Amino acid sequence: MTNTTTIPTYRGRTYEDIAGAIDHSLLRPELTLAEVEAGCAIAARYRTVSVCCRPVDVTFAHGLLTGTDVAIGTVVSFPHGNSTTAVKVAETAEAVANGATEIDVVLSIGLLRSGEFQRVQDDIAAVVAAADGHLVKVILENAYLSDAEKVSACHLVESAGADYVKTSTGFAPSGATLDDLRLMRASVGPQMKVKAAGGVRTLDAMIDVLDVGCSRNGTIATAVILDDFVARAR
């Protein structure tokens, strides 16, 4: 007699599918070190793919999560994207030296909207080079862009050699929408990945973004999403 084990699923997704697509967000400016520590503990307990923490917390988070499978991500030129390229490069290099393996950098929004496409691409490419082979996700901040600008941004990010296009910082007037995610997915090649961020805080919303082609979702609602999965999966 053969023993078979059924892996619980909800809407066709396993726990690993969901947890493995969550970047647990620790970016609010008022977080204390105790709250950062508690957030890292949540990421480890729920087995998220990463935490995305403030640059000042990278070394601390790296120490807390050593020995787990949780990657350390951080942000560069956050949340406005207005740093010079040299500053973005320095931020990236320092983050990597401190233990970050994923970089979420904000695109130069004003330059993009001004049509300075080569400057935008060169800026991203410099961050990619400074990341030295580590993942680079480029935040477009879609709340401020037209659909045509979103498409242009996707093309520039891909040409610059980054790994992901990402919807938003979570600090703009709006976050991820399914329409934007579909547009971004259609505007990059299959080797590029898409990350949602901002407002995706329930299990069903999480699966919705995965279903339109996202590979990651940045959220503070990790426990809510994954506890709900455990309750509903069969």
- Write out the catalytic residue numbers: 104, 166, 195
Q: Where are the alpha helices (DSSP H) in 81-219?
A: 85-97, 109-113, 117-131, 147-160, 178-187, 203-211
Residue in 81, 80, 15, 94 with CA at minimum distance from that of residue 48? 15
Residue 116, CB half-sphere, CA atoms under 13 Å: how many?
11
Q: Which helix (H) or strand (E) holds 50?
A: strand 50-53
Residue 217 is classified by DSSP as E
Please calculate the CA angle 194-176-10 and round it to the nearest 5 degrees: 75
Residue in 69, 67, 66 with CA at minimum distance from that of residue 46? 69
- Alpha carbon 13 to chain centroid, angstroms: 20
Give the integer Cα–Cα distance in Å for 6 and 194.
Answer: 30
Give the integer Cα–Cα distance in Å for 106 and 50.
Answer: 18
Q: SS3 string of 99-114?
A: CCCEEEEECCHHHHHC
